[in-house]
Chains A and B, each alone.
Chain A
Amino acid sequence: MWKAEHLIAGIKVEISSKAGDASGFLPTRMGHFAPRSHTSHPDIVIALNHDEVVQADPLKHFFPSKFVLTSRGDELLFEGINGKKRLLAVINPREARGEMAVPSLRGPWRVVEEEEAVREAVQAFMLACLQLRLLDEGGTLLHAAGVVIEGEAYAFVGHTRAGKTTLVRSFHSSEVLGDDLVAVRELADRQRLFGTPWPGREGGKVAYGGLPLRAVFILHRELPPGLRYMSAAEAVAELAVDAPRLGHKGEESKLLENISRLADAVPIFKLSLRLEDDVAAWLKDFSLEGGKGP
């Protein structure tokens, strides 16, 4: 059996496969997230099991989908929705274990789209399992760019095309956690920002992160340039929009709770930037002076 361990946002993730080497189906930056030690038990296990029905037509099984979680007794079902629902995997939260049926990961693939559909589904499942565990630990994933200045972390939250990638280009690569998906989590009485194996196009040099989160900026390109402090309620509403949500009421409630704690502990601002703004220089001033708008 193929097996690998990773440490993401302080969560020890074990991925095992009875369908062959799964490394080519995991995020490309996964190698940056090797655990520092192999002594402790994993916080979550993701098991990929070979299944002949899936093998018969992987593309039909893993058609491009929106993925959601639903409850069945004590289990959570990971389903693909595209016109109709299809059960893709099962999570047992009590045992912190997710199981997904997959074809042989060695191939052969009849068309390249088969392999890509399996890769997409495996990563979506991995992301759902990670988010579930993070929610239990008081954290969440966020669609955000993360940067580090003087040992403190800053998150720039925004949906696709909000300008996250452009923004991180003004930072030295050694200061960038990622420009797409970061994790935030309360650890040792501080809200901390972590990189993830999905760092986007520009990020991933500061692989682990875990640095104290000093401020969160929610990007609003449509507003006049400037910085505006947000009320906790406004911040929670906007952050909830930009977190990967699991389509499951219990998890959405935990998300609101965790984001509320984040908004209580860390200042959250609405930020609009001009293309010509040197964000790195401005953020360095912000970190020294405690915050003026660009």
Chain B
Amino acid sequence: MSEGKKGLQKPGPGDRLRRLPDIAWRKVGEETILVNVKQDEVMQLDSVGSFIWSRLSGDETLRDIAESLVGEFAVGMETALEDTLEFAASLVDRGVAKIIEAGRS
């Protein structure tokens, strides 16, 4: 974990993330719709975002999730990890997920 813009937490590959409890969500086809109840905000995730979101139960590290992404979407590990970290940072930034365990990256 490192400090990102404005001092926000930026997740690293060894971190585990968990969806925050105030988020209602539903998979619609390959995509997922989130409603952030506290912020009164609706988000639409594409198929890659949906795949990552569905695994944010706090059990897997972001590296684990990126490895699964490689198998599911036929991308290289470097791209998968980069995409996973970037997406995870945006979820933390938007207040829909939190880092529950800071691992060593």
A residues with a Cβ closer than 8 A to B are 231-234, 236-237, 240-241, 245, 247-249, 252-253, 255-257, 260, 263
Tell me if B40 counts as interface (CB < 8 A to partner A).
yes
Contact A245 B26 (CB under 8 A): no
Q: In the complex, A287→B25 CA distance in Å? A: 34
Contact B22 A236 (CB under 8 A): no
- Tell me how far the C-beta of B53 lies from the nearest C-beta in chain A, rounded to whole angstroms: 13
> Which of B26, B30, B32 has the largest count of A CB atoms less than 10 A from its CB?
B26
Tell me if B33 counts as interface (CB < 8 A to partner A).
yes
- A-side contacts of B33, CB under 8 Å: 233, 236-237, 240, 256
A to B CB contacts below 8 Å, 16 in the list: A232-B28, A232-B29, A233-B28, A233-B31, A234-B44, A236-B26, A236-B28, A247-B40, A249-B23, A249-B37, A252-B24, A255-B24, A255-B35, A256-B24, A256-B25, A257-B26
Nearest B-chain residue to A231, judged by Cβ: B29
Partner of B26, one of A234, A249, A256: A256
The 5 closest A-B pairs by CB, nearest first: A252-B24, A233-B31, A256-B26, A237-B44, A233-B28
B residues with a Cβ closer than 8 A to A are 21-26, 28-33, 35, 37, 40, 42-44
- Tell me how far the C-beta of A149 lies from the nearest C-beta in chain B, rounded to whole angstroms: 28
Q: Chain B interface mostly helix, strand, loop or mixed? A: strand
> Which of B22, B31, B33, B40 has the largest count of A CB atoms less than 10 A from its CB?
B33
Partner of B29, one of A233, A245, A247, A257: A233
- B-side contacts of A263, CB under 8 Å: 28
- A-side contacts of B29, CB under 8 Å: 231-233
- A-side contacts of B21, CB under 8 Å: 249
- A-side contacts of B23, CB under 8 Å: 249
- B-side contacts of A260, CB under 8 Å: 26, 28
Q: In the complex, A81→B39 CA distance in Å? A: 14
Q: In the complex, A253→B21 CA distance in Å? A: 12
Q: In the complex, A236→B26 CA distance in Å? A: 10
- A-side contacts of B31, CB under 8 Å: 231, 233
Contact B40 A233 (CB under 8 A): no
- B-side contacts of A252, CB under 8 Å: 24, 35, 37
Contact A245 B28 (CB under 8 A): no
Partner of A253, one of B24, B30, B42: B24
- A-side contacts of B37, CB under 8 Å: 245, 247-249, 252
- A-side contacts of B44, CB under 8 Å: 233-234, 237
- Tell me how far the C-beta of B99 lies from the nearest C-beta in chain A, rounded to whole angstroms: 21
Nearest A-chain residue to B36, judged by Cβ: A252
- Tell me how far the C-beta of B29 lies from the nearest C-beta in chain A, rounded to whole angstroms: 6
